[in-house]
Amino acid sequence: MNGYSFLIFIDMKIIVLMKQVANKDAVLRIGADEKWINENDIAHQTNESDGYALEEALRMKEAKGEGEVVVCSLGPQSAKTVIKDALARGADRAIHVVAEDSKTLSPYQIANAIADAIREENADMVFSGLQSDDASYGQTGVILAELLGIPHATLVIEVDRSKLEGSVRIKRELESGWYQWFNYKLPALLTIQSGISQIRYASLKGIMAAKKKEIRDVTLPLENFASAQKIEKVYMPLKTKQTQMLGNGDAKAGAVELVEKLKTEIRVL
């Protein structure tokens, strides 16, 4: 490591991508055009892994003692809820790429718009979630890294916060319980896996402080992208297995029937 790298990172800047998605427990109804769900009266939340990405960014800033955490979300005005929550939890400011019809955008289009919105920030690190819980493209972060010309790592499950001098040492999750550490020169983009650390709640103080923080709205001409993937139709998955439904909607009656099955059909009692 070179002798003055600490000078470069006194002002470490981390941009965190956060997406607003349908609440996990929301009952999904297919929209009239059958190309997405009807989002009108649905509860929303922050995409799960993005919450972890923010938490990791805040912890890195705290470990470093100084720096800036900037949240960036692309979506309709309603995505402000996600942004405000992030600011209340400790992010310093936000960039909102306002796009009312963001559900129809492909991952390349989203990444391209975000790249245009954040390129001049010259961040030391960009964090995204691993995957969005609605579209589940699993690639917006990786495409963004390529468009910004910076290296990336996916499925990051630990960051070595003791070593942050111009490079970063990160642990990636591989399949079936395997892991691997990688070293990256900064700048770099990391896609964060859920569970990297325990997420803090917004404090009352944080909520108050958030009111004074900057949210910069950006509207960009969303370019047409010829190679976009396009959803033609969404529908309920076809059932593959014959399931015996017990209790007919009455959980207690179902429990009684189930124990009977455990005894007579499944034979484990």
Partner 1 sequence: MILVFIEHKNCVLNKTSLEAIAAAQSIGKDLGLKVSAVIPCDKDCALAQEIAQYDIEKVIVAKNEKLGTYTPDAYADAWEQVIKATEPQYIVMSHTYQVRDFAPKVAARLGREVVGDVIRYSADGGRLELTRRIFLGKLDADVTIGGDAPYFITFQSGAFRGDSAAEGSAAVETMDVQVGDIRMTAEDPFQEAKATVDLSKSQIIVAVGRGIKSQENIALAQQLADALGADLAASRPICDAEWLPIDRQIGSSGQTVAPKVYIALGISGAIQHIVGMKNANTIIAINKDAEAPIFDIADYGIVGDLFDAVPVMIEEIKKAKG
Ligand X SMILES: Nc1ncnc2c1ncn2[C@@H]1O[C@H](COP(=O)(O)O)[C@@H](O)[C@H]1O
Ligand Y SMILES: Cc1cc2nc3c(=O)[nH]c(=O)nc-3n(C[C@H](O)[C@H](O)[C@H](O)COP(=O)(O)OP(=O)(O)OC[C@H]3O[C@@H](n4cnc5c(N)ncnc54)[C@H](O)[C@@H]3O)c2cc1C
Distance, CA of 118 to CA of 126 (rounded, Å): 10
What would the x/- binding string for partner 1 be over residues 2 to 31, using CB under 8 A? --------------------x-xx-xx-x-
**131 lies in the site for ligand Y, by CB under 6 A:** yes
Q: Which residue number, 30 or 207, has a Cβ lying nearer to partner 1?
A: 30
Query: What pairs with residue 190 in β-bridges?
Result: 127, 153
Residues 6+ apart with CB under 8 A from 93: 68, 70, 71, 87, 213, 214, 215, 216
Q: One symbol per residue from 222 to 261: x for binding ligand Y (CB under 6 A), - otherwise; what is it?
A: ----------------------------------------
Output the smallest distance, CB 2 to partner 1, in A.
16
Q: Binding of ligand Y at residue 130 (CB under 6 A)? A: yes
State the minimum distance, in angstroms, from the CB of residue 80 to ligand X: 12
Task: Select 1 or 251, whichever has its Cβ closest to ligand Y.
Answer: 251
Q: Are 92 and 15 in contact (CB under 8 A)?
A: no
The count of chain residues that interact with ligand X, using the rule CB under 6 A, is 23
Instruction: List binders of partner 1 among 199-238 (CB under 8 A).
Output: 225-238
**Cis amide linkage into residue 151, ω under 30° from 0:** no
C-beta pairs of 74-77 under 8 Å, 24+ apart in sequence: 74/19, 74/99, 74/102, 74/105, 74/110, 74/113, 74/114, 74/117, 75/19, 75/20, 75/99, 75/102, 76/100, 76/101, 76/102
18 binds ligand Y per the rule CB under 6 A: no
Name which of 11 and 260 has its Cβ closer to partner 1. 260
Q: Rounded to whole angstroms, how far apart are CA atoms 133 and 129? A: 10
Instruction: Give how many residues touch partner 1 by CB under 8 A.
Output: 86
Between CA 233 and CA 158 the distance in angstroms is: 38
**C-beta of residue 110 within 8 angstroms of C-beta of residue 140:** yes
Q: Is 109 in the site for ligand Y (CB under 6 A)?
A: no
- Minimum gap (Å) between residue 87 Cβ and partner 1: 23
Provide the 10 A C-beta neighbour count for residue 209: 14
Is 24 a binding residue for ligand Y by CB under 6 A? The answer is yes
Of 70, 12, 73, nearest to 46 by C-alpha is: 73
Site for ligand X in 183-212 (CB under 6 A): none
Is residue 179 a contact point for partner 1 (CB under 8 A)? yes
- Shortest separation between residue 25's beta carbon and ligand Y, angstroms: 6
Contact set for ligand X, span 26-85 (CB under 6 A): 47, 49-50, 73-75
Residues forming contacts to ligand X in the complex (CB under 6 A) are 17-19, 47, 49-50, 73-75, 102, 107, 110, 128-129, 131-132, 135-141
Residues forming contacts to ligand Y in the complex (CB under 6 A) are 24-25, 130-131
